[in-house]
Amino acid sequence: MEIVPLPDGTEHILSHRKSIESSDSLNVSEWKVTTSLCLGGQDIFATVRENSPIGEFIANLSINGDPGASSIRLCLTGENADWFYLEGRTIRLNSSFSRTLDREVLGSVLIATLTCYEDEITRSQYRVMVEILNENDNRPYFLEDTIQPRYISELLTVNSMVFTVKARDSDGDTITYMTDKSTRTPPALCVSLIQDDASYFRIDLPNSGMVILDKPLDYETKTQLHVVIFAVEMTTKEKYSTTATVTVNVLDGDDQYPQFQPCAPVHENGDHNICTNPVYSVNITETDEDAVLYFSPGPIHAEDGDKDIMTPLVYTILSGDDNGRFTIDAKTGEISLRQRVENRLLTPSFRLRIMAAQVNDPKKYSVATALVHVVSENLFPPLFNKTVYKGFLIESSSPATLVTTYGNQVLVVQAVDRDFKDGINPKISYTMQPLTGSSKLYHITQDGIVIAKTDRLRAFDRHILEVIATDEESGEAAHASVDIEVLQRGLPVPRSPFGEERLFADMNAGMAGGIAALVLIVAVTALFICLWLAKRRRERRDPEDRGSVALGKHPNVEASSPISPRPVS
């Protein structure tokens, strides 16, 4: 109970009850007095800031008393009446720690009805309208559907709109969209750099949120871009902001020409390569006819430069088909030889110009060269005349030395090809790989001469190498081994593989002299015997025969003029 002074100067007892619910389910705040107070009231218009604490002052009441009434009762009813309570002649805010006054939830105005009862009879009703004043207590946020991943064709022209972002603020603050966060006025939208991704975009209209393409897209360079977006309040001192990342997926467009494979790069820039078409080559003989040609590198094949589209291609021979001697499959690019070459000396080679063009756009095409060489028929593979070659080196500080063999002769490891009269095939190439030791110690020339890095070798080292002779025209190969031994400085290279020279050098000098004398005696005796036998044969001959021999004529040869025999005495 509370004693309250009345307008006529008397005191009356008031009973205070808050938040009483009436029969019509409306919230009621009630004051009960013992005298008439229902005269002189008026509608109440007031303001209160959102998030105000409990008991915040709303308004004072102005009701005059009526001496004829025994008691009055004041009630606050209506949808928002539970947000107020009466304290004497004052209306206060009825909030709590768990229930704050939130303008974004309740709206901008709270409405209630103040009813005055005298002896349970309604005497007057007044409107109570309280405006909730806004505070900046919310941050801006992006609308989710405006920051979803986007799919943009690489063919989109510069200055076109890519997408539009939208941000909202529950407090109703103004958001402006800009492109540079470092400007004097804090921006609402800032495209942040992620590996230069933001350089592709700009924003022209400050309040639109429209993102504009600022430079061309290229699927072959970047297939995905990430753009960080900032939204900032512009009409508040707090300048609250928020961020979002928009992913832009670049779609492949038909902007690349076909490329023959394999692609030979001439310029590399990240994932984007600029390359030239290969030159295809193949060898044929005069006997080849109605055959599919297998080129190197091969097969002849082109692909659409737009890897994600892969438009079908059509192949044609622009020139060099030699009146139908060569044909090409329009779908696969396979080239066939239809007519044999009559004389390889007259037509040793052919140059074909091959075009691959897109089926849907013939203006997008590429041209490559195919070379056809006419060679002699290959009947025999290359062969080495040995399976193992023996080589020697003498320990030395020289940076390079030719490997030698027995007798200190230069070691030549050379394969012969019976398809050539002299056995020398100019198309044979030599390679060497180590079976033991290092591959960097030896090198073989195309003449089959082995060179060693002597300054990196030591006495008593031994290396075994495999030599491969490959016919570059037929692809056939022969294999042999080279066994190289490093001799100590000052030692001679052996003269033979079996060491016979070394055996004679070690014999006793006296024994060698005796053997030589014996051989000389036998030779002289034989000479005397031969002379004695010859003399006896001459003595038994006919005198005429002896005369003929003396004259230097053969006894069976007739003289060109007769000679009179000498008379016998």
Q: What is the mean pLDDT of residues 351-364?
A: 95
Residues 116 and 71 in one domain: yes
Q: What is the mean pLDDT of residues 241-251?
A: 89
7 compared with 522, residue with greater pLDDT: 522
Residue 440 lies in a domain: yes
Residue 557 lies in a domain: no
Alpha-carbon distance of 472 to 355, in angstroms, equals 28
The residues, any chain, with a CB within 8 Å of residue 444's CB and separated by 6 or more, are 413, 430, 431, 432, 450, 451, 467
511, pLDDT greater than 70? no
Task: Select from 93, 70, 71, 72 the least CA-distant residue to 18.
Answer: 93
Residue 530 has a pLDDT of: 58
Residue 181 has a pLDDT of: 39
What total number of domains does the chain contain?
A: 4
With a pLDDT cut of 90, the percent of the chain lying above it is: 39
Q: What is the pLDDT of residues 533-561, one digit of tens each?
A: 555 554 444 443 333 333 333 333 333 33
Q: What is the mean pLDDT of residues 267-287?
A: 79
229, pLDDT greater than 50? yes
- 176: its two tokens: 């402006």
Q: What is the mean pLDDT of residues 245-262?
A: 91
Residues 270 and 195 in one domain: no
Residues 17 and 126 in one domain: yes
Residue 20: band (very low, low, confident or very high) from pLDDT cuts 50, 70, 90: very low
Residue 542 has a pLDDT of: 43
Residues 6 and 129 in one domain: yes
Residue finishing a domain among 111, 133, 155: 133
For residue 534, with 0-12 CB atoms within 10 Å meaning exposed, 13-18 middle and 19 or more buried, which class applies?
A: exposed
Residues 387 and 469 in one domain: yes
What is the per-residue DSSP string for 288-317? --SEE---BS-S-EEE-S-TTT---EEEEE
Residues 148 and 226 in one domain: yes
**482 near 451, Cβ under 8 Å?**
no
Residue 124, beta-bridge partner list = 116
Residue 264 lies in a domain: yes
Polymer length of the chain? 569
Residue 335 has a pLDDT of: 97
Task: Select from 468, 494, 481 the least CA-distant residue to 392.
Answer: 494
Residues 263 and 367 in one domain: yes
**209 near 167, Cβ under 8 Å?**
yes
Domain extent, residue 174, equals 141-251
509, pLDDT greater than 50? no
**282 near 289, Cβ under 8 Å?**
no
Residue 206 has a pLDDT of: 72
Residue 34: band (very low, low, confident or very high) from pLDDT cuts 50, 70, 90: very low
Residue finishing a domain among 251, 278, 313: 251
Residue 178 has a pLDDT of: 63
Residue 516 lies in a domain: no
Tell me the pLDDT of the chain averaged across its residues: 78
Q: What is the 3-state secondary structure (H, E, C) of 228-275?
A: EEEEEECCCCCCCEEEEEEEEEEECCCCCCCEEECCEEEEEECCEEEE
Residue 33 Cα to chain centre, angstroms: 89
- 560: its two tokens: 């060109």
Residue 548 lies in a domain: no
Residue 523 has a pLDDT of: 56
**321 near 327, Cβ under 8 Å?**
yes
Q: What is the pLDDT of residues 318-352, one digit of tens each?
A: 999 999 999 999 999 999 999 999 988 899 999 99
388, pLDDT greater than 90? yes
184 compared with 175, residue with greater pLDDT: 175
- 399: its two tokens: 């940076």
Residue 512: band (very low, low, confident or very high) from pLDDT cuts 50, 70, 90: very low
Residue 169 lies in a domain: yes
Residue 547 lies in a domain: no
Residue finishing a domain among 499, 526, 544: 499
Query: Buried (b) or exposed (e) across 80-91, using 16+ Cβ within 10 A?
Result: bbbbbbbeeeeb
Residue 249, beta-bridge partner list = 151, 224
**Could you tell me the CATH number of the domain that includes residue 17?**
2.60.40.3430
Residues 200 and 290 in one domain: no
Pick from 39-43, 153-157, 362-366, 418-422: least confident: 39-43
Residue 516 has a pLDDT of: 43
Residues 404 and 481 in one domain: yes
Name the strand (E) or helix (H) holding 279. strand 279-284
Residue 365 has a pLDDT of: 94
Residues 19 and 127 in one domain: yes
Residue 29 lies in a domain: yes
Residue 244 has a pLDDT of: 85
Residue 375: band (very low, low, confident or very high) from pLDDT cuts 50, 70, 90: confident
- 199: its two tokens: 């350089």
Q: What is the pLDDT of residues 412-464, one digit of tens each?
A: 999 999 988 888 888 899 999 887 766 689 999 999 999 999 999 999 999 99
**Could you tell me the CATH number of the domain that includes residue 243?**
2.60.40.60
Residues 177 and 223 in one domain: yes
Residues 222 and 320 in one domain: no
Pick from 169-183, 241-255, 402-416: least confident: 169-183
